[in-house]
Structure 1
């Protein structure tokens, strides 16, 4: 089969690799019909995080079940399924409490499991991991585009809102105008926030944030942005969603949080250690910091119900679509901020 392979900073190549096979009774092999490039992929693409040269990349697959092991009962060949970015067994202590990202099995995409940006993937725990798409929506391309973000960014944005304690009537500040931040705006709107203030650096993305439910936007940078956010929230917000992961974004989150407020953080941390977390700002204001890597499997059915019901549509975050050969160009487009998020259709 063919799959995207990391060959060093700025270099993604499409190569022939072994196709994953059912080897265990709990395995399922999926033909990938839709997948995506994630903002977190840009960290290794830019050389800002470690990645083994020659490793397969991607973690957001959706597709058709091709083959299952003899112990699999929840899906069968021909089913359309979503495969959340964190592989989970569904049975360990952490999976049972909904913290699927801490699964004790520690399985991941890549190598024998295929890599999420390729023609096939394997999950070693089909019953604990896969989410079946209802048959009536399994071949509706518009619905499938809207369901694909359930593999990661939609659930991650929702986790930011839940971690920040967003509820009906609240005012919330969302930091970040990438796919996760925009999904966070959707999540805050879905949870009933009355005011949603989106902070970012790109006017076109902030315009999409308004389409998603943001009531105000801030495109300024640095202290000017903080001052504007504090002005709009009369001194700070009780609920702040940090959806970037950079040290500067975390500093902004702390600066715009009201005393006694809560920051829900889901951005993969980069540069936070070097910049130094403002623990004194958190301590002085009794600000709660809550969140982490999003257990999107825990939210999948809840969010899917709204997507297929037509009340939740994250599909506009996909501003570029490529086939498998176009994946290297997709990385470049996201790196150059020419695309918010790239949808990949390996078989087109």
Structure 2
């Protein structure tokens, strides 16, 4: 009788232990690794790191992850050797099982760098240089040195990088982003050029890229791009000077500093700068400037390869974010005077005694 009692107690003890273990393991598998409201934590998994070490790193970072349990679950599920290296974020939604699945699928942290349309190539490089998640290999290199380092078949970097939001993972280099941006611009330019309207006064894709960069800087309104492009196409067809301020501003900044970015480009032009004969002064030279002056968008590339049919030869800011387009010089001068009066009236209202000057095509 005593022997049966001992056996019964042992069996009951084992069952109780199994129940406790089952509940403990169950909670370990399904409970959130972080409390609700806790900030997410990051862990970096290196190539070859085993499951136990990964769990120890996660636990040390603040996630409640039992290294032994994680190790055996990963082994029993056949996932211990399938975990991918990279940076991972653990959030309050994660459990041991969901985290393990994400580690196997390679659901790593992804970062973003956004380059706005109309930035210059140097602006692009500046954004990469200040991004803490990129590996910096181009810092301090000139545009010519970057072109050589990436073996790009171009003579200048301006205009050659597509403005976009680039998504990348930890360990990505700045040169990888630059190469992707270059390839993206080439793809967009090639597509626009291949489907261009007939009889354009643009001889090469580079001409289209240059003009698109000017359109990009002249207007930010989507419904104006085609018409602004149409004005410049009309001027090129007639052999008229483009007379576009953004090109002159670019040339002034380039002559002063060698590179052009938001910090070096002047906000306004002096009369002497408008009269100075430089490659980018479209007031004194006929035709396109020698290079693009910014990074054009897809919309601007489409605008110059499919310009709006217009008889306008001039445009000037209208004071409300858009432009007034004119067919004759007389009409344009009237529009300029109207714009100046509006700007002077606004200046008087804020106590500014400085006279306004017009922008756009003169």
After TM superposition, the score normalised by the length of structure 2 is: 0.21
Larger Rg: 2
After TM superposition, the score normalised by the length of structure 1 is: 0.21
Structure of greater relative contact order (alpha carbons < 8 Å, 6+ residues apart): 1
